[in-house]
Amino acid sequence: MRSGAADYRQALPGYHYEFPRDHFNHPGYRTEWWYYTGNLQSADGRRFGFELTFFRQAVARDASDSPWHIQDLYMAHLALSDLSGHRFYHNERINRAGPGIAGTDERAGLIWNGNWQVQIAAENQALHAVNEQFAIRLDLASSKAPVIHGRDGISRKAAGAGHASHYISLTHLVASGSIELDGKTLHVEGTAWMDHEFFSDAMDTTESGWDWISLQLDDDSEVMLYRLRHRDGSVDPYSSGSYIDAHGNCMFLASTDFTMTPAGEMWTSSRTRGVYPIRWHVAIPRLGLDADIATPLPNQEISPSIGPSYWEGAIDVNGKRGRSSIHGVGYLEMTGYAEAMHE
């Protein structure tokens, strides 16, 4: 029996977070994802971005105990941005849980889909993903505690009960490991970011998509912003963000606290004909932050076989914090430009 959003828990205020439990699966919610993104550099200065994302989408909830019965659909996206070589690679996986094919296991500390996996142990994580074109093996050490975005345990996405998610991030993961590409193994170091959200009915029907950025700045602070767009082009007032200082303290940012504005440079996908703004200007007056966001690689669009196409790519940050220059790296995600998002 297939289920709708009403058969699942809503993301409501007052949720009590507990770790390591909340790093793993929440089957009472319809949709869940774990996003790993980061910027890496080899010893000879070659730059890369990467994305490894695990999705769980509930299909049905019933009493079947067959390992082949589909309770959840597990999807995963893997991407490598060769920023120096101006090449973009991406691949996907779609599986049922089956007898150990995909899933999450808190006891084992694993999230996996086939041979793509993340091993979670205390503050350290190990990421491993291989396809025919490249392989990524990274050790990730978190230098800050998990960040809970939003207010009162929820990150609102629209007006009304349930239009929200429970949203956790590890905003400063120190990354080291290797990339295998073109027959060579490159040792790489850099920083990564992990987003974990679970919800059942987050978006409103009036919304067409979102623009999301993560910024890792050279003063050891981080910023997350998301800008929700309505179908008429207006920005939803429930757009928001977070500022995380060098000590890991998190400040909520309401939509009135920041501007996130396309700055004129567009890229058109030859695959989907989606037109994406790939240069942005970000201002957060209460922090004295004024920054330009750009990417060294325009083509970082992912077009999965299930779900809408989206742009997810590595970015550079240059600007001012008060009177001082500030720089950094991050990731930009844009949805709804090739086709409108829906749940």
Separation CA 63–CA 143 (nearest Å): 42
Q: Stretch 328-335: mean pLDDT, rounded?
A: 98
Average pLDDT across the chain, whole number:
93
What does pTM read for this prediction? Answer: 0.94
Report phi then psi at 129, rounded to 5. -150, 135
Concatenate the DSSP letters of all residues of 42-78 into one string: ETT--EEEEEEEEEEEE-B------TTS-SEEEEEEE
Query: Are 284 and 252 a contacting pair, CB within 8 Å?
Result: no
Convert the pLDDT of each residue in 64-89 to its tens digit. Answer: 666 667 788 999 999 999 999 999 99
Q: What is the mean pLDDT of residues 20-24?
A: 95
In the three-class reduction of DSSP (H, G, I as helix; E, B as strand; rest coil), residue 223 is classed as strand
- For position 64, what pLDDT does the model report? 67
Query: Rounded distance, CA 201 to CA 301, Å?
Result: 25
Instruction: Please say if the pLDDT value at position 3 is more than 70.
Output: no
* pLDDT computed for residue 340 by the predictor: 55
Burial of 206 (0-12, 13-18, 19+ CB in 10 A): middle
Looking at the predicted structure, is the pLDDT value of residue 2 above 70? no
- Closest listed residue to residue 326, CA positions, set 177, 211, 217, 200: 217
In DSSP terms, which residues pair with 227 in a beta bridge? 211
Q: What pLDDT score does 201 carry?
A: 85
β-strand partners of 333: 212, 312
pLDDT at 1 over 70: no
- Give the residue extent of every domain in the chain: 29-335
Q: Give the pLDDT confidence score for residue 5 in this predicted structure.
A: 55
CA-to-CA separations, 134 to 54, 137, 151, 182, 223, in angstroms, rounded: 18, 10, 40, 8, 30
Res 149: pLDDT: 98
Strand 240-244 with 250-254, pairing: antiparallel
Kindly tell me the burial class for residue 261, based on how many C-beta atoms sit within 10 Å of its own C-beta (0-12, 13-18, 19 or more).
middle
How many Å apart are CA 330 and CA 131, to the nearest integer? Answer: 24
**How many other C-beta atoms can be found within 10 angstroms of the C-beta atom of residue 14?**
7
What tens digit of pLDDT does each residue of 232-276 get? 889 999 999 999 999 999 999 999 999 999 999 999 999 999 999
Phi, psi of 21 (to 5 degrees): -50, -45
Instruction: Retrieve residue 165's tokens.
Output: 């998610």
Measured CA to CA, the distance from residue 226 to residue 240 in angstroms comes to 6
- pLDDT for 63 equals 61
- Percentage of residues of the chain with pLDDT beyond 90: 84
Residues 99-155 pLDDT 10s: 899 999 999 999 999 999 999 987 799 999 999 999 999 999 999 999 999 999 999
Could you read off the pLDDT of 41-54 as tens digits, one per residue? 999 999 999 999 99
| Cα–Cα dist 92/193, whole Å | 20
Name the residue with tokens 């019965």: 69
| Overall average pLDDT of the 58-64 stretch | 75
d(CA 109, CA 120): 5
| The predicted structure's pLDDT at residue 6 | 66
CATH superfamily assigned to domain 29-335: AttH-like domain (2.40.370.10)
**Predicted pLDDT at 4:** 55
Q: Which of 1-5, 134-138, 182-186, 331-335 is predicted with the least confidence, judged by mean pLDDT?
A: 1-5
Residue 309 pLDDT exceeds 90:
yes
| Secondary structure class of 5 (helix, strand, coil) | helix
List pLDDT tens digits, range 172-223: 999 999 999 999 999 999 999 999 999 998 778 888 899 999 999 999 999 9
Six token digits for residue 267: 């890229």
Average pLDDT over residues 311-327: 97
In the predicted model, what is the mean pLDDT of residues 279-306? 96
Residue 318: which of 262, 278, 280 has the closest Cα? 280
Phi, psi of 239 (to 5 degrees): -55, 145
303 has a pLDDT exceeding 70: yes
Mark out the alpha helices in the chain (DSSP H runs): none
